[in-house]
């Protein structure tokens, strides 16, 4: 979730808590997939400016790119149709924009796929109680499973729960559940809003990684050329540094504000330029309602912190940069509704002065954010001879979000490993552009 699911990525994390009957059904499907994904699968990841609204198994790899949203290219249907999907560790349900009207330049046309099937509303998958749907899935007039999902920016979309064949590289995956969405999109461009889909990658029963029965996946996002790699399976490479692991936080009982299928870790503190902020431990831990969890989310661009922690970080960063950066001086300007610390940087200036490193501390691991990852040039915003550059941390309270969200901008040049078997997240600093080259993706 986030203002990629707040503004840029109009998608917020979609949460599924399925009934046991659905889990058994999905697991039986997964066993049929095991023989199809026996080879390493790697994808090139890309990053695209997406308009708003709009097991131990051998590894698999894909290239990707990043900027506002991390995207990966797949093939869906028979014959295969190319699709571009946002890689989202904060969501569960995969979905595609589906063609509804003849002539509309939409992404996926189920009519032209002989392997496409729609899920009836009598299916256990449709009847399952899930938090992913704002209202429970229901029957449409022709007895198909009708689903509706809503996001933090108050947009929503709806369509039919469906199943079709997905293909990644040389690996084929028959019968993947996804949402075939065909109405309710919000975008300034009718066509642009239908140029992508979402690849749900959290720990829920219907996520892509769960349906494919992968116990582990990794990605690495370059900070230089908007590219990277997504890898399914083991990542045992001589050039890759040992990972530091932080355990996932487990909550067994349902809590209203805790996402139990997110990649939730324990936040332990923040250092600015080596100075540890004075923060009460209680504010960094989920409370009795589940509010205050910390989620690692590839679907959010920036990082968002609860109000008191954000304010402490903002004040310390201001204090340490008072002589090197010029504040914007406009108290009414708030980037993406949650980022109110912005600066004026001359358009002719190349790079930034030396900035204090911000280190996010987790149980057993740290993530350091430095240099250009600390500030973001706001496209199109100019004040005289200066561009507007905003601090890449925001205030969750301003968004009405009761959580800490670690976005993908701060995961650049980090090997991010999600181990579902041992319930942990691994981090290792690495040049992700070089990692992509070493893996032969030729980005």
Peptide bond into 79 cis (omega under 30): yes
Task: Round to whole Å and give the CA distance between 34 and 126.
Answer: 24
**Among positive and negative, which fits the CA dihedral 130, 77, 88, 381?**
negative
Residue 187, classified by CB atoms within 10 Å of its CB into exposed (0-12), middle (13-18) or buried (19+), is middle
Given the residues 132, 153, 164, 297, the one annotated as active site? 297
Given the residues 88, 132, 164, 340, the one annotated as active site? 88
Residue 179 CA from chain centroid, whole number: 18
Give the residue carrying structure tokens 């309270």.
397
Pairing of strands 95-97, 145-150: unpaired
The verdict on whether 164 is a catalytic residue reads: no
Any residues with CB less than 8 A from the CB of 21 and at least 6 apart, and which? Answer: 124, 128
Give the CA count within 13 Å in the CB-facing half-sphere of 303: 28
Q: How many CB atoms lie within 10 A of CB 133?
A: 23
Q: Side by side, which strands form the sheet with 393-395? A: 264-265, 293-296, 403-406, 303-305, 393-395
282-339-396-65 Cα dihedral, nearest 10 degrees: -110
- Dump strand ranges (E) for 201-307: 216-221, 227-232, 244-247, 264-265, 267-272, 275-276, 293-296, 303-305
The verdict on whether 297 is a catalytic residue reads: yes
Asked if 22 and 128 count as a contact pair (C-beta separation under 8 A), the reply is yes
Candidates 411, 181, 186, 162; CA nearest to 299 is 411
Task: Round to whole Å and give the CA distance between 229 and 210.
Answer: 20
Asked if 153 and 10 count as a contact pair (C-beta separation under 8 A), the reply is yes
Residues involved in catalysis: 88, 297
């Amino acid at each position: 979730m986030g203002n990629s699911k707040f503004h840029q990525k109009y998608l917020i994390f979609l949460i599924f808590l399925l009934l046991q009957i659905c889990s058994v059904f999905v697991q039986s499907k997964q066993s049929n997939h095991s023989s199809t994904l026996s080879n390493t699968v790697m994808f090139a990841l890309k990053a695209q400016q997406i308009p708003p609204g709009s097991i131990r198994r051998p590894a698999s790899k894909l290239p990707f790119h990043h900027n506002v949203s991390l995207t990966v290219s797949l093939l869906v249907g028979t014959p295969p149709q190319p699709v571009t999907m946002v890689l989202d560790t904060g969501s569960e349900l995969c979905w595609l924009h589906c063609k509804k009207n003849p002539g509309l330049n939409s992404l996926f046309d189920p009519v032209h796929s002989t392997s496409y099937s729609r899920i009836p509303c009598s299916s256990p998958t449709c009847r399952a109680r899930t938090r992913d749907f704002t209202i429970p899935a229901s029957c449409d007039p022709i007895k198909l499973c009708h689903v509706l999902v809503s996001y933090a920016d108050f947009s929503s979309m709806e369509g039919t729960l469906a199943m079709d064949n997905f293909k990644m590289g040389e690996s084929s995956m028959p019968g993947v559940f996804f949402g075939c969405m065909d109405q309710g999109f919000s975008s300034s461009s009718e066509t642009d809003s239908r140029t992508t889909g979402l690849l749900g990658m959290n720990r829920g029963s219907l996520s892509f990684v769960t349906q494919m029965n992968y116990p582990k996946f990794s990605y690495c996002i370059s900070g230089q050329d908007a590219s990277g790699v997504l890898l399914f399976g083991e990542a045992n490479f001589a050039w890759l540094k040992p990972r530091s692991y932080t355990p996932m936080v487990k909550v067994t009982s349902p809590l209203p504000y805790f996402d139990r299928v997110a990649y939730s870790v324990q936040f332990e503190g923040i250092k600015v330029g080596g100075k540890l902020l004075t923060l009460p431990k209680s504010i960094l831990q989920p409370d009795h309602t589940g509010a205050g969890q910390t989620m690692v989310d590839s679907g959010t661009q920036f990082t968002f912190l609860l109000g008191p922690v954000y304010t402490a970080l903002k004040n310390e960063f201001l204090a340490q940069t008072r002589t090197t950066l010029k504040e914007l001086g406009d108290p009414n300007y708030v980037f993406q509704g949650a980022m109110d610390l912005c600066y004026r940087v001359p358009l002719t200036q190349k790079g930034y002065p030396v900035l204090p490193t911000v280190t996010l501390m987790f149980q057993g691991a740290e993530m350091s954010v430095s240099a250009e990852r600390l500030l973001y040039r706001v496209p199109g915003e100019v004040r005289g001879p200066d561009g507007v550059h905003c601090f890449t941390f925001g205030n969750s309270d301003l968004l009405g979000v009761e959580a800490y969200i670690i976005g993908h901008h701060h995961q650049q040049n980090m090997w991010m490993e999600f181990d579902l078997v041992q319930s942990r997240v691994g981090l290792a600093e690495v040049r992700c552009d070089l990692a992509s080259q070493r893996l032969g993706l030729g980005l």
